[in-house]
């Protein structure tokens, strides 16, 4: 990777620890004692982490993982309770929303590795990722309603992942769903037993490592934009993107390799 190791704290005390491995940036939430809550410090660390990710030739994906029993327990409620006025809350939720949008702006797919609880804004973090793999012991909820707070910002990501009735059930009841239910509803992509979670994730990452970076970059930006367009405009935009994509050297190489029944040799790595 081209990013300097000093671009993000690498010590074990950092709120977010970065590790690069064969084209994959691994970002690990590192506050297990607080269930990796999205405190202001954690949000700042995540924001900083994504700003240091540069499109180096081998970049293929980013993984968000976590230490401890919980993936992420959402906002730090004690910290929130100590804020003094409405403007402070606006700033906090704007900071969180900015971080979630960083995931969308990342040039390659972002994958959540969910080993435990993901609640409220933690569930929002999972929903904001492009893909997610989860342990069979993981559970998910948007539980703000249980303390009188509707999870409005998590609802934005959640309702863009699962059906409206399923989202409404989670948002209005605050009840947990297990990993199998999350898979059935479309919140996550794959479920594995706890001791097989890393193998499950690695299989997905190996798939992405084999892909053209041009295609991954194109698809990541195209997916986000087309979802916001009416159907006709989405098809017009998609046609333009695909025509431009066809001009890439990697596409010519990929088609030639397919015809010749050989592995492609990507030029844009």
pLDDT top residue among 200 and 11: 200
Which of 105-119, 192-206, 241-255 bottoms out in mean pLDDT, i.e. has the lowest?
A: 241-255
Identify which of 193, 43, 183 has the alpha carbon closest to the alpha carbon of residue 115.
193
Residue 12 has pLDDT above 90, yes or no: no
3-state secondary structure of 73: coil
Helices and strands (H and E) in the chain: how many: 11, 10
* Average pLDDT for 122-146: 97
Domains in the chain: ranges and CATH: 5-209 (3.90.226.10), 213-260 (1.10.12)
pLDDT of the residue at 55: 83
CA dihedral angle for residue 105, residue 109, residue 114, residue 118, rounded to 10 degrees:
30
pLDDT of the residue at 204: 97
pLDDT of the residue at 66: 98
pLDDT of the residue at 29: 98
pLDDT of the residue at 113: 98
**How many residues in the chain?**
269
pLDDT top residue among 20 and 254: 20
Q: How far apart are CA 132 and CA 154, in angstroms?
A: 16
Confidence of residue 268 (pLDDT cuts 50, 70, 90): low
Residue 34 has pLDDT above 60, yes or no: yes
């Amino acid at each position: 990777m081209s990013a300097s190791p000093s671009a993000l704290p690498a010590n074990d005390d950092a709120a977010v620890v970065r590790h690069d491995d064969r084209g994959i940036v691994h970002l690990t939430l590192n506050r297990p004692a607080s269930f990796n809550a999205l405190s202001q410090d954690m949000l700042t660390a995540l924001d900083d982490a994504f700003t240091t990710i540069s499109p180096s030739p081998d970049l293929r994906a980013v993984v968000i993982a976590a230490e401890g029993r919980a993936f992420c327990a959402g906002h730090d409620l004690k910290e929130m309770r100590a804020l003094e006025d409405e403007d402070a809350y606006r700033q906090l939720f704007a900071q969180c929303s900015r971080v979630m949008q960083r995931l969308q702006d990342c040039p390659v797919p972002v994958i959540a590795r969910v080993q435990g609880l993901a609640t409220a804004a933690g569930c929002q973090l999972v929903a904001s990722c492009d893909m997610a793999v989860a342990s069979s012991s993981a559970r998910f909820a948007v539980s703000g309603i249980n303390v009188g707070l509707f999870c409005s910002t998590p609802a934005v990501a959640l309702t863009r992942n699962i059906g409206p009735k399923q989202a409404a059930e989670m948002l209005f009841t605050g009840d947990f769903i297990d990993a199998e239910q999350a898979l059935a509803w479309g919140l996550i992509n794959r479920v594995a037993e706890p001791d097989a979670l890393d193998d499950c994730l690695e299989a997905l990452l190996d798939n992405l490592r084999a892909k053209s970076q041009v295609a991954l970059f194109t698809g990541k930006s195209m997916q986000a934009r087309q979802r916001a367009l009416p159907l006709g405009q989405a098809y017009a935009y998609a046609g333009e993107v695909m025509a431009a994509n066809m001009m890439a050297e990697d596409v010519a190489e990929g088609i030639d390799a397919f015809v010749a029944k050989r592995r492609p040799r990507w030029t844009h790595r």
